[in-house]
Amino acid sequence: MLVALGAAIRRERSDRGLSQEALAVDADLDRSYMGGIERGEHNLTLMNVIKIAGALKLSPSKLLDSASL
């Protein structure tokens, strides 16, 4: 599930032409942490899912749906 969510975040970020660093700044997260998220290495909190979805201009449910979760 973490790998699927990370892949969805990477896909949505790439579709918007954002770098990992830009997304991390917009979501108020560390860039290296964002890389780990995209690789499925971190178990995100709900608050971080909300931050990332907001930075991608998506609802959290749309982000999770994009990951087939």
Q: Mind spelling out the 3-state secondary structure of the chain? A: CHHHHHHHHHHHHHHCCCCHHHHHHHHCCCHHHHHHHHCCCCCCCHHHHHHHHHHCCCCHHHHHHHCCC
Q: In the prediction, which pLDDT does 6 show?
A: 98
Q: Quick one: DSSP state of residue 67?
A: T
2-66, CATH topology level = 434 Repressor (Amino-terminal Domain) (1.10.260)
Confidence of residue 23 (pLDDT cuts 50, 70, 90): very high
The whole-chain average pLDDT of the chain stands at 97
Q: Within 13 Å of residue 5, how many CA atoms lie on the same side as its CB?
A: 22
